[in-house]
Structure 1
């Protein structure tokens, strides 16, 4: 059907209504006006009046009376077949809408503001789907560099971010706190330092996720100190960044939990970022109008409880702080 034909069908006159289809279906199934009226909670006279109204509108009889039984005419059989299809479509649509309103079904479109989050997200999605099997979770990695715009422009339902965004249209829920560390090759001069200062990056190649302008270490550590790195290399994959660091081709600032296996294996070194360390506070953002949706609240609670999966979580001041598990 062409778009023009589809539009015309919405404006075309239609004599049959849902109640008419229900009436024809009920009479056809019971064979009696009286029993059909009982099924539809209508008096016999009201149902007979509606049947005459339908037949007048269509200018044809839909039933013949054979003895005490109502029998479909060819036109009536055509209406009955249409009624069976239409009523089932309407029933399924109403059921789907009710389930969605109750949080049983729906679509949850999510993204994060950091590629490392995709390392622990799959485990959470598996657990979430066991609880909310009717919710279709769609991960939009393409929105990683602009999750807030994705929310406000209707492409996302939930974003996991570490920066504060003050917007009356959004609701923020604290999740957890993590440490950002500088990773270097084992024999790099900075590897022996107790911490890395902003000015230490001036002679280093800093490897960051694209785009450069969204880099946390550049925006929140180097820029305030008036320091520019010696060079910047943008790499999208976490594994590639780690391999470049191992090879001594640059340094990077990453979440400690994300590189913990490599630190424990001794293939790279992790050094505290600034004297006091650098912590990020992660949070979810959702549109204020959707914040109370049960399936969204369940997802947020699960993220707060389960991410990252390799660390022990301790609740402190309303935020989840990650600490190394006791050995």
Structure 2
């Protein structure tokens, strides 16, 4: 006979670990403090080990408790996913989808994706959190969001990635900037120029910084902004130069308000992906959303083939 663990006791224990307070745990679970205390005590008796200790009002997790917490989180999330998938089948299109995306993806990619998604699931409740890739990856790991659109990080094996496309960050300036008047630009000149860059905590900023390190230079004079539109406006008034994705400034380059400064063979390339938790089993709603993302990207490739390079989409962990 298989010995199972009471899921309500697991939930009480995990919530206690997260809050560090019996009082707060009781409030969140709509139970009495005594009920939480008995649940944890019964769980300890069932497993024949001590999971938590008390020092005054403070709660400390034992080594056994930490080990159980890791497994319990996965178990509870799997139960939550199972319920979601069953309800998704029973109530076609009436589920919930929690999305995360960078401000760039929210502005330039998501509108087309959401328009098509809404045609398939008009009754689905959507929530969208704008954030940069490091924050989005953390939220995926904590199961706070279901799917995120991110700049693909290096050496990340604890989330599942489905590549969407790759792009290139190009050097841009105002048409009246000295860079636009020269045929060749030296890296040392770029390093000394005032640069207007995207958020310092983003992977995009890290890629630019890495590009300079590879050329044995450091970023010396820059400001950071969280809006691509704001960055473009500063470039137009000749406030400095920037590295922006070619597909984001395509219109401005074509109408002559921003100039593309060639760097020769030197390139800064990014890869964009959708991502979700490794242990997550996708619902029909989530699979459809991912498929629409890939379809929209395919259309972008057709419209902007010379601007952005899109690889074939394959899943990877």
What is the TM-score with the length of structure 1 in the denominator? 0.61
Shift of the 243–97 alpha-carbon distance from structure 1 to 2, 3 Å rule, reads closer
Q: How many residues are aligned here?
A: 236
**1:253 matches 2:277:** no
Shift of the 243–309 alpha-carbon distance from structure 1 to 2, 3 Å rule, reads farther
Q: Is the 8 A contact 1:108 1:296 kept in 2?
A: yes
Aligned to 2:87: 99
Shift of the 228–308 alpha-carbon distance from structure 1 to 2, 3 Å rule, reads farther
**Cα distance, 1:134 vs. partner?**
3.3
1:141 to 130, 142, 146: 130
Q: Write the distance in 2 (CA, Å) between the matches of 1:5 and 1:304.
A: 39
Rg larger in 1 or in 2?
1
**1:238 matches 2:228:** yes
Q: Write the distance in 2 (CA, Å) between the matches of 1:260 and 1:307.
A: 16
**1:223 matches 2:205:** no
Q: Write the distance in 2 (CA, Å) between the matches of 1:5 and 1:281.
A: 41
**Corresponding residue SS for 2:152:** coil
**Cα distance, 1:262 vs. partner?**
0.9
**1:280 matches 2:304:** no
**Corresponding residue SS for 1:190:** helix
**Cα distance, 1:256 vs. partner?**
1.0
**Cα distance, 1:131 vs. partner?**
0.7
Shift of the 291–188 alpha-carbon distance from structure 1 to 2, 3 Å rule, reads farther
Structure 2 stretches of 5 or more lacking a match?
1-25, 36-82
Of residues 124-133 and 98-107 in structure 1, the stretch that sits farther from structure 2 once superposed is 98-107
Aligned to 1:206: 195
Q: Write the distance in 1 (CA, Å) between the matches of 2:245 and 2:297.
A: 13
- Of structures 1 and 2, the one scoring higher in RCO (CA 8 A, sep 6+) is 2
Q: Give the aligned CA root-mean-square deviation in angstroms.
A: 3.5
Q: Is the 8 A contact 2:96 2:126 kept in 1?
A: yes
1:129 to 112, 115, 118: 118
Structure 1 stretches of 5 or more lacking a match?
12-94, 321-327
What is the TM-score with the length of structure 2 in the denominator? 0.63
1:151 to 140, 156, 162: 140
Of residues 288-297 and 126-135 in structure 1, the stretch that sits farther from structure 2 once superposed is 288-297
**Cα distance, 1:121 vs. partner?**
1.1
